[in-house]
Amino acid sequence: MLDERVLTISGEADIVTARQAARQFAAALGFNAMDQSRITTAVSELARNVVRYATNSHGVVHVRETEAGGRIGIEIVVADEGPGIADTEQAMRRGFSSGNGLGLGLSGTGRLMDEMDMKSAPGEGTCVTIRKWRR
Amino acid sequence: MARIPIIKVGSALIATVDEDLTDDDALEFQERLNAAIERTGAAGVLIDVTLVETIDSFLGRLLHEIAVGARLLGATTVVAGIQPPVAMTLVELGLQLDGVKTALTAERGLAMLAAPSRANRAR
């Protein structure tokens, strides 16, 4: 049976909670220390984006087990009802930042994971899905 | 709440980051460290991150800012004990902590602060 955890983000302390949950989940699925670090860091970046940019810093994180072609993976969906992003490709590009960061958050998240998709439109919130497959 | 203790040993300040920090904890540490450098006139700062399991773009950038800020106050910073998975993750994230001195262990970091290389002295 595939397992799932759901967490609500409503402030900065939840960034820590989200990454702890992601690390525990990844460890339980048998990801090695290197991949646990990648997954935890990716979740930290996405959770921080929610706290920084979403309306009332509110968002929801789903952490779940996934399977495809006989492979076991972890899938994390981070969704918010914030202002949304008009150009998701630009947002995922290295060096792009709308805030005061270095623009490494989203592009870096993509490099740490095997797959990342982002769905967003102005006024319609943002939903980022990331996956990593166990080797 | 995480409080990062800052202790003075000789002319160096030693801070052991031992918790999963919130952003506010990290920013508070930066302020307290700068105040401690000013108050003590420390020439070196050792930040031991051996127990830190996650350094994301925020904390990575902050460590860089802390080192640059300490240098402007006349202190050399060494970040010690970055765990191998954390180091790999930082590289993939695109954060190389350029200009931040690092050491494998806190012991080696302290040795670097105690006996600065010729290059450090020249600066």
ipTM, interface predicted TM-score of the complex: 0.88
Residues A37 and B86: beta-carbon distance below 8 Å: yes
CATH value at residue B20: 3.30.750.24
Kindly list the residues from chain A whose CB atom is less than 8 angstroms away from the CB atom of residue B20: 16, 19-20
| Total domains in the fold of chain B | 1
pLDDT at position B3, please?
A: 76
Residues B67 and B99: beta-carbon distance below 8 Å: yes
In a domain, B122, yes or no: no
- For A8-25, the DSSP string reads EE-STHHHHHHHHHHHHH
Report helix angle A105-112 to A33-53, nearest 10: 150
* CA count, 13 A, side-chain hemisphere, B59: 28
Residues B79 and B104: beta-carbon distance below 8 Å: no
Residue A15, chain B, CB below 8 Å: the answer is yes
In a domain, B21, yes or no: yes
Closest by Cα among B80, B71, B62 to B21: B62
pLDDT at position A65, please?
A: 97
In a domain, B123, yes or no: no
Residue B55, chain A, CB below 8 Å: the answer is yes
CATH architecture of A4-133: 2-Layer Sandwich (3.30)
In a domain, B1, yes or no: no
Judged against a pLDDT cut of 50, whether residue B123 lies above it is answered with: no
* Binary contact (A34, B55; C-beta < 8 A): no
Mean pLDDT score of chain B, rounded to an integer? Answer: 91
In chain A, where are the structural domains located?
A: 4-133
* Binary contact (A37, B24; C-beta < 8 A): no
Q: What is the pLDDT of residues B42-100, one digit of tens each?
A: 999 999 999 999 999 999 999 999 999 999 999 999 999 999 999 999 999 989 898 89
Report helix angle B84-93 to B57-72, nearest 10: 90
Residues A23 and B53: beta-carbon distance below 8 Å: yes
Low-confidence ranges of chain A (pLDDT < 70): 1-2, 94-104
In a domain, B121, yes or no: no
Range of the domain at B98: 6-116
* Binary contact (B86, A105; C-beta < 8 A): no
pLDDT band at B122; cut points 50, 70, 90:
very low
Residue B98, chain A, CB below 8 Å: the answer is no
